[in-house]
Chain A
Amino acid sequence: MLNNISLQGKRERRVIFCFLFFPVVLLCLFGIWPIVNLIYLSFTSWNGISESKEWVGFANYFKILQDPTYLTIFKTNLYYLVSGLLQMVVAMYFAIILSFKTWGQSFFRASFILPLLISGVAISMMFRLFFTGEGAFDQLLTFLGLEKFIGMWLGDPERVNYTLAGISLWRNIGRSFLLYLGAIQSIDPAYYKVAEMEGATFWHKVRYIILPNITTVLTLDFILLTIGVVSVFEMPFILMNGSNGTATVLVKTMKLAFDNKKFGMAASLSVLLTLVIALLTIIQRYVVIKRERRQL
C-alpha cells in the first residue's frame, strides 16, 4: 500500500515535470534571460551592434541621477498622474450611474469601453487629424460658442501636455470603468433591498454599500494607474516624437537607445524605472495593509 502511494507520487511528479518543462524553458528564455541581460547591459557602455561591451560599473546610474534633465522629465509624467486621478473619479461616477437601470445603458457602457479596443497608433493618427488647425475639434468649439479657446492644441508648448493627458484619460477610462462596473455588479442586491426598507436615499446607498464594497478594486486600479503613469509612452512618442516638452521617461529611454545608440544608459534608465515602479507598489501595499489592520 505504502509502496503504491510512493509510486503514484513518482508518476505524478513525472507528469508534472513533463507539463512544466516547456513553459519553464520558455519563461526562462523569453522572460528571465532578457531581464538578466538588461541588468547586465545597464553596467556597460554599448552602441547596440558593436561586438565589445565595455564594463563601466555604476557610471551610467550616477550619470542619470546627477543629470537634472532626467528629473525634469519625471515632471512630464505628473500630467498623466493628474489625468489618471481624474479618470478614476469620472469612471467611478459613470460606473455607479450605469450599474443602475438607465436609459441607453448598454450603448453608454459600450462607448466607454470602445477606446480600449483601438490600437495606440490608430488613436494617435485619429487625434492628429482631430486637433489640426480648423479641424474637427476647433469646429466643435465653434459650434459650442467657445471660439476664444481655439489654438494649436499640439503645437503650443503650454497646452500640448494637457492635450496628451486628455487623450490618455479618454483612452484609459474604459479600463477603470470596467473594473468598477464589475465590482459594483457583484454586490449582493439584498443589501440594496434592506437599505431601501430602512429608507436609504441613492446617496446613502453609494456611501455605505457601494464604496466600502469596491475598495479592493480601487486599490488595484490605483496600482495599475501608477504603473501606467510611470510608463506613458505611445501618445507622446507617436504623436509628438517627444518634442515640445512632451518627452516622458520611457520616450527618453527609447531615444537614448535607438537615436543616440547609448544602449547601456537606456538599460540603466529602464532598470531605475522598474525600481521606481516596484517601490511605489510596495509603498501602496504597505499603506493598504496598515489600513486594513486598523479596521480590524
Chain B
Amino acid sequence: MKKILTGLFITSALLGGCAKKATEESQSEKIGGELTVVTNRTDADKLFEKIEKGFIEKYPEVKDIKWEAVADYDSNIMTRMTSDDYGDVLFVPFSMAGMPNEYPNYFESLGKVDEMTSDYLDVTEADFEDKVYGLPTALNSLGIIYNQELFDEAGIKEVPTTVPTFIEAAKKIKANTGSTPFYTNYQSVAIWAGALTSFGGEQFKSATLKEGDAFAKGQAIRQVMDLFYELASNKLIEEDPITLDSQAAQQKLAEGEIAMLMSGSQDVIPIQALAKDKKSKAIKIMNFPVETKGKTSLPLGASGVVGVSNKSANKTTARAFLDYFISGESGYAVDANGMSPVKADLTKEQQQTIEDSNVILTVATEKPEDDATYSKIAEEAGVARLTDVLQQVINIGLYPEKNEPYTDYVASLSKTWQEAAKLHAE
C-alpha cells in the first residue's frame, strides 16, 4: 500500500515539476536563448518564419523562436494569462484597455510615455501611470472606404465632411445609382468604437464623465448612433444586415453594388484587388464625416499591440525581439498594409501625410482613473461594447413599427447610464 502511494506522489510531483522548470531559469542579460511569441495571427506562418530568420541573423546567439498563433485571441489569451505561462512576447489583448491598472501585473514596462513619444507613434495604446506596456505592431488609419465611380455617377463632387452632407450623399447614391449607399457591418459593428475619438475628441471619455450621460445629444456614442439611425431609417443601408457578411460586402463594394463601408486603411489594397480590373483606383478611403477645427481628422490606431510578459525568463531578448518586430526591418507592418510605429522608419510620403492632417488617435488618451471610471460605468450600464447598442439602433431604424421608438430607446439608455454613473461617482 505504502509503495503504491509513494509511487503516486512521485509521479504527480514529477508531472508538476516539468511545468515549473521553465520559470526557474535564471535571468540572463545577454541576448540569446529561446523565445515564445504568442500572436493573434493564425494565417501568417510564412511571414513569421521570415521574421524569425531576420532576427536570428541579427542576433546569432538566439537559438529558436516558438510561435504560437491563438484563434479568437482576446478571450483565449485572457484565460491563459491567469496562469504564468503566456509566452515571452505577446499581443496585448484589447479588452484590457478598460482596466489599465492591470497592465503592470502582466506586462513588463517598456519605458516612460514622454520619453518614448519622441521615437514612436501612438505609444499610449497600453499605458498606465506614465509607463508604456505595449507598442503598436503596425499603424493604420480608420475611415470610410468608398467607390469613387459610384460617387461620380451620383453626382457627388466632394467627399462629405459632415454628417448632414454624408447623409445627403448617401441619398443621392441611392436615388441616382440604385446601389446600396452604406454597409453597416452588423456582425462586427463593434469596430465603430475606433471612430469615437474622431467624433468626440481624444478625451471624449472625460468629457462624457463631466456630462454625466454618454447618450446625451452631442456625445460621441450618441453621434454615431444618430448617424446609424439616420442611415437605417432612410433605408440607406443594406437590405438585410444580418445575413450580409463583410467578405461579401467588400466584394460588392469593389463591384459597385455598395458605395461605402467603414474599415481600416489595411483593407483598401485587398478590396482594390477584388475589382474586375484587379487594381481599381476607384476604391479610396476618406476620413469620418466629422470636422474638428474645420478639418476632418486622420484617426490612427494599432491593429495589434505587442508587449513583453513580466513572467518571461528572458526579458532582454524578448525586448530586443519586440523592437525588431515593430521596426520597419521586420516587414510586419508592411504585410499588415500599415506603417511602422518607429518614427525613424517612416517613409517620406508617410511623414508628409501625418504632418498635413489632423492626426487623432483611435484610443482615447485619458488619465487612467477617468479611463477606469468610464469603463466601470459602461460595464455597469451594459454598453461596454458598442455592438449591442448599434445593432439595436439598426433594427429600430429598419423596423420602426415593430420596435420601441428610437427616442424611447435612447432615453432608457440614458437612464441606465445615469444610474450606473451615480453608483460609481467618487
Contact = CB atoms under 8 A, between A and B. Distances in A.
A98 B240 CA distance: 40
B211 to A, nearest CB: 21
Contact of B102 (A17, A49, A243, A258): A49
Place the interface of chain A in its size category. 20 to 34
A256 B385 CA distance: 11
B399 A47 contact: no
B45 interface: no
B134 to A, nearest CB: 15
B407 interface: no
Contact of B244 (A48, A132, A158, A260): A132
Contact of B82 (A49, A133, A261, A262): A49
B391 A133 contact: no
Interface in A21-52: 21, 47-51
B157 interface: no
A154 B78 contact: no
Interface residues of B, number: 37
B1 A261 contact: no
B239 interface: yes
A123 to B, nearest CB: 15
B403 A157 contact: yes
B379 A157 contact: no
B230 to A, nearest CB: 19
Contacts of B98: 261
B92 to A, nearest CB: 12
Nearest to B1: A14
A261 B379 contact: yes
Interface in B156-186: 186
A243 B4 contact: no
Contact of A157 (B186, B241, B388, B399): B399
Contacts of A133: 239-240, 243
B247 interface: no
Contacts of A242: 388
A157 B395 contact: yes
A156 interface: yes
Contacts of A260: 379-380, 382, 384-385
B402 A156 contact: yes
Nearest to B403: A157
A241 B391 contact: yes
Nearest to A152: B240
Interface in A125-179: 128-129, 131-133, 135, 152, 154-158
Nearest to A157: B402
B399 A243 contact: no
Given A157-B395, A243-B395, A261 B384 contact: yes
B402 A241 contact: no
Q: Which secondary structure dominates where chain A touches chain B? A: loop
B242 interface: yes
A47 B395 contact: no
A234 to B, nearest CB: 15
A48 B240 contact: no
Interface string A39-67: 00000000111110000000000000000
A154 B391 contact: no
Contacts of A129: 243
Residue of A152, A158, A244 with most partner-chain B CB within 10 A: A244
A198 interface: no
A128 B241 CA distance: 11
A18 B7 CA distance: 11
Contacts of A48: 78
A157 to B, nearest CB: 5
B384 A259 contact: yes
Nearest to A257: B75
A240 interface: yes
A155 B8 contact: no
A14 B105 CA distance: 46
Given A48-B78, A49-B82, A135 B187 contact: no
A51 B105 CA distance: 9
Interface in B1-60: 1, 4, 8
Contacts of A152: 239-240, 242
A241 B82 CA distance: 27
Contacts of A259: 384-385, 387-388
A253 to B, nearest CB: 13
B398 A155 contact: yes
A109 interface: no
Given A18-B4, A49-B102, A260-B379, A255 B388 contact: yes
B81 interface: yes
Contacts of A262: 379-380
B99 interface: yes
B392 interface: yes
Contacts of A240: 242
B96 interface: yes
A49 B78 CA distance: 7
Contacts of A255: 382, 388
A241 B240 contact: no
Interface string A181-225: 000000000000000000000000000000000000000000000
A243 B379 contact: no
Given A50-B99, A244-B395, A154 B379 contact: no
Contacts of B187: 241
Contacts of A135: 243
A154 B240 contact: yes
Most buried by B among A17, A255, A259: A259
A155 B237 CA distance: 13
B398 A49 contact: no
Given A152-B239, A154-B240, 7 more contacts: A154-B242, A154-B243, A157-B402, A241-B387, A260-B384, A261-B375, A262-B380
Interface of A: 14, 17-18, 21, 47-51, 128-129, 131-133, 135, 152, 154-158, 239-244, 255-256, 258-262
14 contacts: A21-B8, A49-B81, A128-B242, A129-B243, A133-B239, A133-B240, A154-B242, A155-B398, A157-B395, A158-B402, A240-B242, A241-B388, A243-B392, A244-B391
Interface of B: 1, 4, 8, 75, 78, 81-82, 95-96, 98-99, 102, 105, 186-187, 239-245, 375, 379-380, 382, 384-385, 387-388, 391-392, 395, 398-399, 402-403
Across chains A and B, which 9 residue pairs bring their CB atoms closest together, nearest first? A243-B391, A132-B243, A154-B242, A133-B240, A260-B379, A157-B402, A260-B384, A259-B385, A261-B379
